Amino acid sequence: MTVRQILSYPDPRLSQACEPVTEFDAQLASLCEDLIDTMRAAHGIGITAAHIGEARRVSVIQLAGNEPVRVHINPVILTVSADLQRFTEGSVSMPGMTETVERPAAIRFRYQDLSGVPHEEGAEGFLATCIQHEIDQLDGIFWLKQLSRLKRDRLVRKWEKQASF
């Protein structure tokens, strides 16, 4: 399909909540194909429609090249575990910038597939972190907001310095 341009932090569209998808048609399937191609071109493991300037609740995740691509339409977290875990996170909208983020170790979530069929699943470990990260983005919560103010400010300064070159 098409590799789309990824918005760069601090584009204000990255802070906007996305609208639910109501039409499950060829246009949606095409958007998902574009997201997969764009994610792979950016060497990412997850991307949302928000990252390419489309305010629609669509995300795709592929943790490894040999795993199937997970397409989540209108995903919503239902429950989270009390146990927490830490993983290094980053964003295709802020390439090269990473930091450790603490999130619930397991989640239960609901989403629709490309045909609009609802699904409910559980996830744990790194997959749970990735799903939470992408749902946050769909809610207009850029991953930096999960960091302490000190870590966030340090990372933003580093990003701004890198972007000025």
Which distant-in-sequence residues (6+ apart) come within 8 Å of 104 by Cβ? 80, 81, 82, 83, 84, 85, 128, 132
Active site residue 134: yes
Q: Which candidate in 54, 99, 134, 160 is catalytic?
A: 134
* Phi, psi dihedrals of residue 81, rounded to the nearest 5°: -80, 160
| Strands of 58-61's sheet in order across | 46-48, 58-61, 70-80, 106-112, 118-124
Distance from C-alpha of 68 to C-alpha of 135, rounded to nearest angstrom = 19
Number of alpha carbons in the 13 Å side-chain half-sphere of residue 123: 23
Neighbouring C-beta atoms of residue 158, cutoff 10 Å? 13
Q: State whether residue 66 is helix, strand or coil.
A: coil
Distance from C-alpha of 13 to C-alpha of 25, rounded to nearest angstrom = 24
Residues marked active site are found at: 134
